[in-house]
Structure 1
Amino acid sequence: MERFRDREHAGRMLAARLAADPPADPVVLGLPRGGVPVAAPVARELDAPLDVLVVRKVGVPWHDEVAMGAVGESGATVRNEGVIAASGVDDDAFARAERRERAVVAERVVRLRGVRPPVDLRGRNVVIVDDGIATGATVRAACAVARARGAASVVVAVPVASPDAVAELERSSDADTVVCLDAPEGFMAVGMHYLDFRQVDDASVASLLAAHG
């Protein structure tokens, strides 16, 4: 089982893998909060802009874990029409849930990025980085939001993930490419693959973004 010293170490290893076949004109997006310390070394190695991609799942009102869509910055909204239809959620209920999650996105963006504008993704090759993937729901929402913001292509890059999540991403059209250093059988939790998996606070994320800028 691959174990990383911390997120910085994992990011350096991931950066080395990506540098072997780097996407052209990339933008590196870390999923807050734990994905940003992994994304920072990747952005340095690829000589790419670093930003956060703040996304929120829009859950079915009576079952928040079931995603009927996702929202992100720049007004990006993704609807999962199959889940909406199967759940019987009407447009008003979706709109209420969307407004609630969009308010959370806006508040978190201010905390993490401050007054800096988001990096324009239109026509760019986007590399979405997290510290690991368990179910894949959040990173799939992130892919959809990146495309809604105009990304030309989407690479998902993580140090570790469950085999099922990697397989599902590779089967779907959510990402064009999936780069994962380790997808061990018997995967249980992302944190088990790090010696130091302490929580990352908002101030640390903001500092990493400011230092890269």
Structure 2
Amino acid sequence: MRFQDRQHAGRLLAARLAELRATERWDDPIVLALPRGGVPVAAEVARALDAPLDVLVVRKIGAPGEPEVGIGAIAGDDPPLFDRRALTILDITPDQLASDVARERTELHRRERLYRNSRPAPDLRGRTVVLVDDGLATGVTAHAALRRVRAEGPARLILAVPVCDARAGEEFRGDTDEFVCLQPHRYLHAVGVWYEDFRQVSDREVIDILGHQHAVS
């Protein structure tokens, strides 16, 4: 089944998470979206769970000459997390990617300031954190995001996506307390294939969604 758009995927994901919540104890839940594509999905989840919505900005480090191929990622001021197997195959070292990391770190902080509009980052200690994206292919950005959230000391950490590569998804079983994927697929090469409408989400859309969620919370 293909999702109509990110909102449709978010509503279906929210229904699955609501079922999960009914069987478990969730302490002071909060939904964190990976922008930009994860924000419309997460907004539906936050609305259904009656939980606050915020963002966790993560930036992908692309392969030289192929920026869309993620071989690493950064979150916050954490050191970069690299796919060591990819580095070996490409015969490059982390030092050779230092300028790329610096550039993406600058963009990461720009987006944090833009999206939060002076709001402080949420305190995650002792809370149930539901980390949401619009899909999971290689998983390198999700790994960086999970590492960042785990360092904040949440009581429970849940990664939730509408669609994922089944092989990548299995890697997260040990990094999360719960991994929820509506549609795991073998050899998922592109998340957008599973959406009828997968248009790019703009900064303006992210700001508007977050502003609306904070206004009604």
Question: Normalised by the size of structure 1, how large is the TM-score?
Answer: 0.82
Per-residue deviation at 1:62?
11
Per-residue deviation at 1:121?
1.2
- Aligned partner letter, 1:116: R
Contact 1:122–1:152 at 8 Å: present in 2 too?
Answer: yes
State the match for 1:43 in structure 2.
Answer: 46
- Aligned partner letter, 2:145: A
State the match for 1:145 in structure 2.
Answer: 148
- Give distance in 2, aligned partners of 1:8 and 1:148: 30
- Structure 1 residues 4 and 168: CA distance shift in structure 2, 3 A: same
- Give distance in 1, aligned partners of 2:81 and 2:114: 28
| Structure 2: runs of 5 or more not aligned | none
Per-residue deviation at 1:98?
5.7
| Structure 1: runs of 5 or more not aligned | none
State the match for 2:74 in structure 1.
Answer: 70
Contact 1:57–1:141 at 8 Å: present in 2 too?
Answer: no
- Give distance in 1, aligned partners of 2:60 and 2:83: 15
Per-residue deviation at 1:110?
1.7
User: Helix, strand or coil: the match of 2:157?
Assistant: strand
Bigger drift between 36-45 and 99-108 goes to: 99-108
- Give distance in 1, aligned partners of 2:82 and 2:10: 35
Contact 1:78–1:144 at 8 Å: present in 2 too?
Answer: no
Contact 1:10–1:159 at 8 Å: present in 2 too?
Answer: yes
Contact 1:7–1:131 at 8 Å: present in 2 too?
Answer: yes
User: Helix, strand or coil: the match of 2:171?
Assistant: helix
State the match for 2:197 in structure 1.
Answer: 196
CA RMSD of the aligned region, Å?
2.8
Contact 2:83–2:140 at 8 Å: present in 1 too?
Answer: no
- Give distance in 1, aligned partners of 2:194 and 2:207: 25
Note the 1:42-121 alignment, pairs <5 A.
42-57=45-60, 65-67=70-72, 70-72=74-76, 75=77, 77-78=78-79, 83=84, 99-121=102-124
Per-residue deviation at 1:185?
3.2
Identity of aligned residues (%): 49
- Give distance in 1, aligned partners of 2:9 and 2:66: 34
Tell me if 1:15 matches 2:20.
no
User: Helix, strand or coil: the match of 1:132?
Assistant: coil
